[in-house]
Structure 1
């Protein structure tokens, strides 16, 4: 490695200039090591001059994946002059160190300076580092890949040349010889636009022969007697060849852009589908379905069970796909070695092997193995297809890793929530149960020790206190038990028909006179309301919690009003509990239904456990209903409404009474 300091260090970045060749891997590794040592952000850039073939695009796709895996950023720049584009990019992004390969110019352009030499001569505000490959590169020799000639190409070239010949024959009386060549030049452009470079070259040759045979002197001969005509014919051939090459190259680039756009759209739709998946099974279904639709071969996702020695098919498309012993062996090898195996990989590529196994890895661990039955395809995958397949599998692996991390975060969140619930329960029990127990113990000890000294009225007051505190303690314990049953999903809904009258009567009786003696309880609902098909004990408990909440925050002598109404669609029964307390602030009307939400303002008590309204919402929600808190009538107090759904054919209270009689 040779290092040449161009100018002083300027900028906080390390950049590797990739060419799409075999030296890219060494450049990426060196840039990563240098950035780690200097603790600088790093990246890679490739200047695309429009000459990248399929093999080079595949190498660049692999380079992008390698750069992303090592924590760098990959950028693509369009331009013809690689050195000038690199200098402009480095100056624009304040690059501190630029790493390039030290290869010589390729092909027959032996007089051109190498890229490092051109960068040194141009200068730049960065350190230039030249990386030599660890192995000797073979001398570059242009590789000619001749594609099969399609019938469409000579047909289009011949038709366009005949059309140009006819048009020139008709126009020869009005146009000079030099201008007639433009007609044949139009045929070359038409052939290039319709069929490509080879058709354009064939059209140029046919136009040259036709122009010379039919329009130069002597006619109907390829001989040329006049120097001016020779110059016209030669210039026509040169211009036709150049124009045909340019037009064919433009057409090829246009097709490449369209193909790239289609692949980008496919990857975008694929990534959107994967991002919407919420669990591992959905990700597998989307990933395998996309691969099967694109490749038209069976696909399978294999996973190892904990403690298992062989992989098992987690999901396959089409369903019922079975892998033979050879394919399972290849999958095990790919899982252990983290490398592809099977068809087209050079690893375990046996004659009777139809499957290719591709391991999915993320964050240094194997997530699974994707199997593709590529032996069923009539032709092997092209380099562009290989690059797209690698991108699809990379997104597939990231989506699987995302679902795993989401699952772990959810498990951690639930664990923290359970711990918070446990702490809140202990805090609630230690505070809410201690107060009534202390009152009961104090009253009972007074009766025992001072029984002879107490009057009959004092004893009655102590007994009333013991009874009210015992009922209060019973409600706290019942709330804790109900909340535990709701949280663990053990609450069973055993429905029965019950009227609103019976529900309210049972709830008022449970609260007892100690809670409602100082308040004015008003009941208001019309006769003939439909019966509720609910769990009577649960709805009764919910109603008890709401009425108790209203009673605790109502002033002495205040009014509590219970109102029953049908909603506008007659599909729900609304039970409204209205008090004359301090009310709830608008921003707190939703949070009062959270567990352990207590406080000192509004309807939140400093001595409550914060479970009453939460239990109410849980019990009503288990019946398909809802609970909400609003401002009370005339802008005073709070109105809590229970919305309970009605069955389609619910009997009325009158019908039920008649049936009982």
Structure 2
């Protein structure tokens, strides 16, 4: 069939090429039938439309007697159409040829592609679709795909019996029950009323066993009613006209009622199966929705496929730019592919079409390899060991697998997009931090260096003209700016170690009093003009921390509070023990921090503007404090000051169980 399709397309292209340049653009409509040839028709339509750069559409005419299994098979073909860039149109009607003509006229197509589509079964007397379309005619080119032998998609299934002994038993039992009741009630009920009992047997047979059993019950009821209840008894001959009318009317009503009841039962069973499938797919969708990474999505997909199919499943990652594939997940976990299956994987990766078992590809393997493609990107490969099943998948299973694979493809693509967005976000964040670092370095390095250079050059060039007080002031300025520069460089080094995870804690026992005293000594010049108060109990427990790191954190917090305090202002330090933690609060009476900014002040390179006693800082101090305290399992938060004035920075550190020996050793 494939060769015939290619010859047909070549003839069509030669015909359209001979038309004038002002001819209408080619639009292609392909008619699907729900049969085995639909997949080849879709590929042929895609190639034909792609050759002319035009849009194309696949159509299916749905009747009120639609087979649910055929509909499930069509879902797979619809998905293939959408993956190849085509549209899908489903119209309802009883006359397929006329509905296709109406749709072709609505879309103004130039070409209608149909399969050979010989009718089968009881429809064999009907004319093929292509012949009926040709007779009706239309303003388009009708292209018919020639019939060719085609390899079955799966190995033949055992022929299902159209009739089961159970159905026969139900029909016979229901009829016998109706006959027994009629025999007991014939002396009280008229003959016409007794026929209702046999009609009930038909309904019971239709409800329990379907249309065929209902038809058997109708025939058995007709014969039994005539043989046992009409005159003359025990004969099929009827001599009374009213009895003949009763029996004939019963048979007509029984046939109609049996057909309707059987159809209702069939639709009910199809609805139950559809509901069960919908529930299973919904459950699978929920599991995929909570899967946050590619590995988890693969694990959920492989486990669900194995549970549904009852055969080993392997998922391969095919996103490598070099074309290599890697195992993403398998079920059972130790399952691996053999050499023949790996050959099928290579073929599918190159051609992006299913290969292996039941696909028509000449590959001798028990595995079927299916590509997961999203927007022409090969996302992954699914390998199903269908050859290890007792029977190939039913049409219902095929439709469910196809729906699940589409959901799995979307989930894998979602994880890729999330990863790309996260990479983009990190790249933007790194760029922002890089810009902030350059800005901070240009300011916080150049400013103290400029002051140091200015003071040093003044001392060198004007030393003889300066008195002792001026020289001391210049030297103090050089010392102050050098210490400021040293603190900034230390902050950069600490932040680098925190970011790279290279910060090692060398814990020791130390009192809070000693840490605060050392920090205040280092900040002597910064705290000039401020009133510093300390308030905490004398019996505070010792801390088991890295003294240098906690001292640096205290220096950063106190320096930040001093910068936003006015000259002569109050800086208060409070401490206490609460819930197994020692807390220290640094409280200033400055302008305070807006509620929505109290968390952002701990971000790197975030500055709150210029303080009352100096220029803005580097934006590293509080960020480093959070990192240092976090390394000790501690926390730091910003709160409003007393009466809503100023800011209260609270640091908390967990208290270990200090033994008396440790206390004596520290003492």
TM-score band, normalised by the shorter chain? 0.7 to 0.9
In structure 2, do the counterparts of structure 1 residues 136 and 43 end up closer, same or farther at CA, with 3 Å as the change threshold? closer
In structure 2, do the counterparts of structure 1 residues 508 and 424 end up closer, same or farther at CA, with 3 Å as the change threshold? same
Question: Secondary structure at the residue paired with 1:52?
Answer: coil
Query: Does 2:592 correspond to 1:580?
Result: no
Query: Does 2:598 correspond to 1:563?
Result: no
Q: Which residue of 1 aligns with 2:601?
A: 592
Q: Distance in 2 between matches of 1:400 and 1:310?
A: 18
Superposition deviation, residue 205 in structure 1: 1.9
Q: Which residue of 2 aligns with 1:375?
A: 387
Query: Does 2:259 correspond to 1:259?
Result: no
2:372 to 356, 360, 365: 360
Q: Which residue of 1 aligns with 2:636?
A: 627
In structure 2, do the counterparts of structure 1 residues 169 and 114 end up closer, same or farther at CA, with 3 Å as the change threshold? farther
In structure 2, do the counterparts of structure 1 residues 279 and 530 end up closer, same or farther at CA, with 3 Å as the change threshold? same
Q: Distance in 2 between matches of 1:543 and 1:592?
A: 16
Q: Which residue of 2 aligns with 1:290?
A: 304
Q: Distance in 1 between matches of 2:454 and 2:379?
A: 64
Query: Does 2:497 correspond to 1:485?
Result: yes
Q: Within 5 Å, give how 1:451-600 maps onto structure 2.
A: 451-511=463-523, 513-567=524-578, 570-600=579-609
In structure 2, do the counterparts of structure 1 residues 111 and 15 end up closer, same or farther at CA, with 3 Å as the change threshold? closer
Q: Distance in 2 between matches of 1:434 and 1:171?
A: 115
Q: Which residue of 2 aligns with 1:163?
A: 177
CA contact (8 A) 1:519 1:560 kept: yes
Q: Which residue of 1 aligns with 2:82?
A: 68
Query: Does 2:340 correspond to 1:329?
Result: no
Query: Does 2:201 correspond to 1:187?
Result: yes
Superposition deviation, residue 430 in structure 1: 0.6
Query: Does 2:138 correspond to 1:133?
Result: no
Q: Within 5 Å, give how 1:233-252 maps onto structure 2.
A: 233-252=247-266
Question: Secondary structure at the residue paired with 1:452?
Answer: helix
Question: Secondary structure at the residue paired with 1:133?
Answer: strand
CA contact (8 A) 2:30 2:41 kept: no
Q: Which residue of 2 aligns with 1:427?
A: 439
Superposition deviation, residue 345 in structure 1: 1.8
Q: Which residue of 2 aligns with 1:345?
A: 359
Q: Distance in 2 between matches of 1:27 and 1:305?
A: 26
In structure 2, do the counterparts of structure 1 residues 499 and 81 end up closer, same or farther at CA, with 3 Å as the change threshold? farther
Question: Secondary structure at the residue paired with 1:316?
Answer: strand
Q: Distance in 2 between matches of 1:110 and 1:457?
A: 117
In structure 2, do the counterparts of structure 1 residues 500 and 369 end up closer, same or farther at CA, with 3 Å as the change threshold? same
Superposition deviation, residue 627 in structure 1: 1.9
Question: Secondary structure at the residue paired with 1:320?
Answer: coil
Q: Which residue of 2 aligns with 1:8?
A: none
Aligned residues: 627
Segments of 5+ residues of structure 1 without an aligned counterpart are: 3-12, 121-127, 139-144
Superposition deviation, residue 539 in structure 1: 2.1
Question: Secondary structure at the residue paired with 2:233?
Answer: coil
Q: Distance in 2 between matches of 1:469 and 1:420?
A: 28
Superposition deviation, residue 631 in structure 1: 0.9
Q: Distance in 2 between matches of 1:235 and 1:117?
A: 43
Question: Secondary structure at the residue paired with 1:301?
Answer: strand
Superposition deviation, residue 27 in structure 1: 8.0
Q: Distance in 1 between matches of 2:634 and 2:95?
A: 70
Query: What RMSD, in angstroms, separates the aligned Cα atoms of the two structures?
Result: 3.9
Q: Distance in 1 between matches of 2:436 and 2:41?
A: 58
Post-superposition CA distance 1:32-80 (Å, at most 9, x none): 998999999x976655434333663254213321343245665767776
In structure 2, do the counterparts of structure 1 residues 602 and 71 end up closer, same or farther at CA, with 3 Å as the change threshold? farther
